[in-house]
Chains A and B, each alone.
Chain A
Amino acid sequence: MRLWKKVRYLFNRDSFDRDLQEEMRIHREMAEEKLGQLGEPKAAAHYEAMKSFGNATLSQEASRSEWTFLFETLLQDLRFDLRTLHKSPGFTVVAVLTLALGIGANTAIFQLIDAVRLRTLPVKDPQELATVRIADRNWVMGRTHGRYTQLSNAIWEQIRDRQQVFSSVFAWAGEGLNIANGGEVRNVEGIWVSGDYFKALEVPALIGRTLTPDDDRRGCGSPPAVLSYAFWQREYGGKPDILGNKITLEGHPFEIVGVTPAGFYGVDIGHFFDVATPLCSEPIIRGEDSMLDLRRGWWLASLGRLKPGVSLAQASAQMNAMSTSILEATIPAEYSPEAVKHFMQYRFGAFPASNGFSDLRGTYSSSMDSPLWILLALAGFVLLIACANIANLMLARASAREREIAVRLSLGASRSRLIRQLLSESILLGLIGACCGALLAQWLSRFLVAYINSRGRIYLDLALDWRVLGFTAGVGMLTSIIFGLAPAFRATRVAPAAVLKAAGRGMTGGRERFGLRRALVISQVAFSLVLVVGALLFSRSLGKLLSVDAGFRQTGILETDVDYSKLRIAVPQRQPYKISLIERLRAIPGVEAVANASVVPISGYGWSENIILAGAKEHAKESQLFDRISPGYFNTMGIPMVVGRDFNERDTAISQKVAIVNESFVKKILNGANPIGQHFQIEEYVGRPRPMYEIVGLVKDTKYYDLRDDFKPIVYVTTLQDDQPDEVAALLIRSPLPPGGLTSSIKNALADASPLISIEFTPLQRTIHDSLLRDRLMATLSGFFGGLAALLAMVGLYGVISYSVARRTNEIGIRMALGGQRLNIVNMVLGEAGLLLVMGLAVGIGLALILSKTASSLLFGLKPRDPLTILLAVLGLAAVAILASYIPARRAAGLDPMVALRNE
């Protein structure tokens, strides 16, 4: 009934309004008549009647609002807002652009956090998934391989056979697999999965079938493979008759039996799988390096679906309770009694895994002081500054619309109605900004992923989900309220009479109103100082990393990884074969030096061993970094020899074992004693021989894992004395030739040796570049944010000073007419700006001191409260700020007193 009446009102609004107006007029007339009868003079009666009736428009408005729908006034407001925004396109464009940048940056970074951290796996009921691993593992011994080195296969089998809390559980491991047959390597993301992988995740096959426990039997002969939808499209163009075809993985044929649906990308966020094969096929691919039966090999991770009614805590308790029995059954034979003691202290637990696994989390979003969160905070600051800027613009507009608002107030508009209308304007701006920002974010977040993904191996699902959209909408609303509320309150708090009396001149007093603008500028300067300090910290840190002395040549060295396992060379022949390959490469014109190393510096790979020094008083055992190199390695890498000799062909498998150490080794392990002729042993696993090594040379220090690390002791042994040579080798080739021509001659030279050799090229410079990705990302983005912030703050300062100069035009005119010097005027204006600047900088320094501590773990070579950085930021910001306020100051000084006074 009410609704129907309201709808009817919509169509009869005019007659309704006429009725109401007339009714009220009659009311007044009746009152007037009555007063007239009482003997009041006519004019007085009229006046009295009007007065007693009060604000007729307001009460009319109130009567009318009983009939209207809420959204109707909202629509009215929005229509009006669109008109006003359309009338001032400059303001609108600046405001929307500022907001879009601010919101876009925030959304893009949040999108990454969402994709890496918050999003659950795209499978049925992901909250039922849990992973079993060793809780608080702080000690590990043996071989670790892959991204998630949580379990050995022996332990996994024990868990699988003993657990009663999962309806199904599986283990998996990822590995880049070469699908090319010889020649240059083409890697795809492969995963080994145990039988219940697809059952536990409840992922059906799109075509064909998925893998089942029947496929995962020890010693499986011709294993099947399941492709991901993306890989099927990319590699095979989505051909439906793919089933039954063979795919070559590391030279071994696998039969394609199925394709998974489009939305499924595995459980490893950031590394979407291409090919899934059963766990039992690992020995086929890895051959003698297989870890399936290696009890000290850590390479698997598990995931299971909890049985209905079993809580995570119960599952964890059961896992913990069966720890000892699992461990007792899986002790690695090679462990020393001491290692076994450590091993038996492991305790298993179940942990939530609804959002899968991701190694990106550790690097980029592990805790509140990791890059993504810091970037989100920085972007938040930028948005706050943007808000302050728009609030300032809104205030300026409000003072331009002062008369309009005064007229509306005096015509009977209620203050709350006006605030609602002004707020709806800012919310409209916020919404437009948020939409543009969301669009911008799509591009920005992909740019960010491309940035941290120089090798093209990281894939993230960046599709918009409700979380990202909610975040953007929330940020948009919040910002529009932040920048809209205060100006709206201010604008409507005027005495209409005063404003109207002041005619065209605008209100003069308003000290307090101007105070808000000053406060906004001070906060802008403060926030932008924080951002500039952040930008300087990160870029100076990157600068220090780039100029750090790694101890070896970084340019002109090409790492060439060769794999000749397909040639099936017997162990004794491998060393000579590798030397023959090195000789071939040395013969290429333009190649200066070639060497082989088992660990390429900064590549992230490493090898460490406990050593036992001969003749040491206490049985000193310490874990030291090792590398196994061919003769000529130091020459190739430009590492200077201090004393002693390099390895040479007289060092053979049967001669005295020799080693070369670096200066840190002498300093830290030998306490500065002459290393030449000293002896040590490597603490091999129980039951293996422990030959004595003699130190024959000393070289300068080099970095090993990371450019940020201090120089560490390194022990070099030689490939010539390796009794178990690999069928793969990293060859380092030094040449001034451009990489393009060089790689093709290397390919030709190796193809001459055998077409079955797989080759992969990585310039050493790129390895180093990649190791600094996080630092580059931080420096680039924080620099961008800092610049943006400084720019916005300058615009804000410029606006406020210009406004103040415009308001003081008269005063300045009088001063000049009375003989004020131009310089004095400039100083006066600059002084005003300077005060704001100093206050802003003071607050900013305080904030920066508090906040910069969170960045400490990401910095290299400087303290988070580095005084020089803060000084530079202050000076830089002050310089641009003075520039920004000098322009209006000049304008003030350039005023013609006559013109200024006539301005009245």
Chain B
Amino acid sequence: MLILQCVVRGANHGYGIAQHIQRVSRDTLKIGEGSLYPALQRLLLNDYVAAEWGLSENNRRARYYTITPAGRRHLAREKRSFDALLMGIARVMEAP
């Protein structure tokens, strides 16, 4: 879900995704490279993202991942169920 959220704004490469998550979450979430690439492959396999080789900002060859329509649907689904989960947790925590 996090990875999909990273590419929903536009294409990004693996390093960028890892950096983005770390930066946006202010270092609370650090995605290990060991799990990033297997996760990306899983998304590719399910057609949630597409990959393409391109050039990075400093003219480096990099593989860019873009979200597909199926990926967007999946993301929305995931978000809903995650929101529901969060709300449930919140209700429990705030109950008197």
The chain A residues found within 8 Å of chain B, CB to CB, are 1-2, 5-6, 19-20, 22-24, 26-27, 29-31, 33-34, 52-55, 58-60, 62-67
Contacts and interface: CB of A to CB of B under 8 A. Distances in A.
Contacts of B47: 1
Contacts of A6: 45
Contacts of A54: 32-34
A26 B37 contact: no
B61 to A, nearest CB: 7
Interface in B1-39: 13-15, 18-19, 32-38
Interface in B35-63: 35-38, 40-42, 45-47, 53, 56, 58, 60-63
B46 A62 contact: no
Contacts of A29: 60
B38 A66 contact: yes
Interface of B: 13-15, 18-19, 32-38, 40-42, 45-47, 53, 56, 58, 60-63
Contacts of B15: 26-27, 30-31
Contact of B38 (A19, A26, A62): A62
23 contacts: A2-B46, A22-B61, A22-B63, A23-B62, A23-B63, A26-B14, A26-B61, A27-B13, A29-B60, A30-B62, A34-B19, A52-B33, A54-B34, A59-B33, A59-B35, A59-B38, A62-B37, A62-B38, A63-B41, A64-B41, A66-B41, A66-B45, A67-B45
B63 A60 contact: no
Contacts of A19: 53, 63
A67 B41 contact: yes
Contacts of A30: 15, 56, 60, 62
Contacts of B53: 19
Contacts of A33: 58
Contacts of A23: 13-14, 37, 62-63
Contacts of B14: 23-24, 26-27
Nearest to B58: A33
Of listed B19, B32, B34, B60, residue having the most chain A CB within 10 A: B34
A106 to B, nearest CB: 44
Contact of B45 (A2, A55, A60): A2
A67 to B, nearest CB: 6
Contacts of A66: 38, 41-42, 45
Nearest to A20: B37
Nearest to B14: A27
Given A2-B45, A31-B15, A63-B40, A26 B33 contact: no
Nearest to A64: B41
B62 A62 contact: no
Main SS class of interface, B: helix
Given A2-B45, A30-B56, 7 more contacts: A23-B13, A23-B63, A29-B60, A33-B58, A34-B19, A54-B32, A59-B35
Contacts of A65: 38
Given A26-B15, A27-B15, A63 B38 contact: yes
Of listed A33, A59, A67, residue having the most chain B CB within 10 A: A59
Given A23-B63, A26-B60, A66-B42, A58 B33 contact: no
A60 B38 CA distance: 8
Given A59-B34, A59-B37, A62-B37, A26 B62 contact: yes
A30 B56 CA distance: 10
B42 to A, nearest CB: 5
Contacts of A26: 13-15, 60-63
A55 B34 CA distance: 7
B34 to A, nearest CB: 4
A302 to B, nearest CB: 66
Contact of B37 (A1, A31, A52, A63): A63
A5 B45 contact: yes
A60 B37 contact: yes
A33 B37 CA distance: 20
A58 B37 CA distance: 11
Of listed A19, A23, A58, A60, residue having the most chain B CB within 10 A: A23
Contacts of A34: 19
A53 B13 contact: no
A53 B61 contact: no
A30 B63 CA distance: 13
A47 to B, nearest CB: 15
A866 to B, nearest CB: 65
A23 B61 CA distance: 9
Contacts of B19: 34
Nearest to A52: B33
Contacts of B63: 19, 22-23, 26
Given A2-B45, A19-B63, A27 B38 contact: no
Contacts of B32: 54
Contacts of B38: 59, 62-63, 65-66
A678 B89 CA distance: 104
A63 B14 CA distance: 13
Of listed B18, B41, B62, residue having the most chain A CB within 10 A: B41
B48 to A, nearest CB: 12
Contacts of B45: 2, 5-6, 66-67
Nearest to B61: A26
A64 B41 CA distance: 8
Contacts of B46: 2
A849 to B, nearest CB: 56
A26 B41 CA distance: 17
A71 B47 CA distance: 23
A76 B19 CA distance: 37
Nearest to A65: B38
